[in-house]
Amino acid sequence: MSFHHVDSEVGRLGTVLLHRPGAELARLTPRNNDSLLFDGIPWVGRAQEEHDTFAQALRTHGVEVLYVSELLAETLTLPAARQEVTRAVLDDVRLGDTLRGHVAAHLAALDPAGLATTLIAGLSRAELRAGGGLVHTLMDRTDFVIDPLPNLLFTRDSSVWIGGQVAVTSLAMHARRRETTLTHAIYRHHPRFSGTPLVYEPGLEHLEGGDVLLLAPGVLAVGVGERTRPAGAERLARRCFERGLAHTVLVVPIAQERATMHLDTVCTMVDVDAVVMYPNVASTLRAWTVTSTDLQLDELVVSGPEPFIVAAAKAMRIDTLRIIDTGLDPVTAEREQWDDGNNTLAIGPRLCVAYERNTETNAQLERHGIEVIRIPGSELGSGRGGPRCMSAPIVRASSA
Ligand X SMILES: NC(=O)NCCC[C@H](N)C(=O)O
> Which residues are identified as catalytic?
389
State in angstroms the smallest separation of the CB of 56 from ligand X. Answer: 22
Which residue of 54, 144, 154, 288 would you call a contact of ligand X, by CB under 6 A? 154
Sequence-ordered list of residues with C-beta below 8 angstroms from that of 132, at least 6 positions apart, any chain = 98, 102
Considering beta carbons, is residue 33 or 291 the nearer one to ligand X? 33
Which residue of 156, 188, 206, 357 would you call a contact of ligand X, by CB under 6 A? 156
| Beta carbons of 391 and 14 less than 8 angstroms apart | no
Q: Is the peptide bond before 253 cis (omega within 30 degrees of 0)?
A: no
State in angstroms the smallest separation of the CB of 74 from ligand X. Answer: 25
User: What mask, x for binding ligand X by CB under 6 A, covers residues 334 to 373?
Assistant: ----------------------------------------
Number of helices and strands in the chain (H, E):
12, 19
State in angstroms the smallest separation of the CB of 387 from ligand X. Answer: 10
Considering beta carbons, is residue 24 or 84 the nearer one to ligand X? 24
Sequence-ordered list of residues with C-beta below 8 angstroms from that of 363, at least 6 positions apart, any chain = none
- Nearest CA among 151, 133, 125 for reference residue 208: 151
Stretch of 2-10, 46-54, 262-270, 298-306 lying at the interface with ligand X (CB under 6 A): 262-270
Kindly state whether residue 381 participates in binding ligand X, applying the rule CB under 6 A: no
CA 59 to chain centre: 20
Kindly state whether residue 151 participates in binding ligand X, applying the rule CB under 6 A: yes
State in angstroms the smallest separation of the CB of 339 from ligand X. Answer: 12
Stretch of 86-94, 185-193, 280-288, 380-388 lying at the interface with ligand X (CB under 6 A): 380-388
Q: Which amino acid is at 393?
A: P
What is the rounded distance in angstroms from the CA atom of residue 108 to the CA atom of residue 330? 54
Burial code of 300-334, b = ≥16 C-beta within 10 A, e = fewer? eeeeebbebbbbbbbbbeeeebbbbebebeeebbe
Which residue of 9, 24, 84, 264 would you call a contact of ligand X, by CB under 6 A? 264
State in angstroms the smallest separation of the CB of 380 from ligand X. Answer: 10
Report the interface residues with ligand X, using CB under 6 A: 37, 151, 154, 156-157, 173, 176, 210, 261-262, 264-265, 383-385, 389
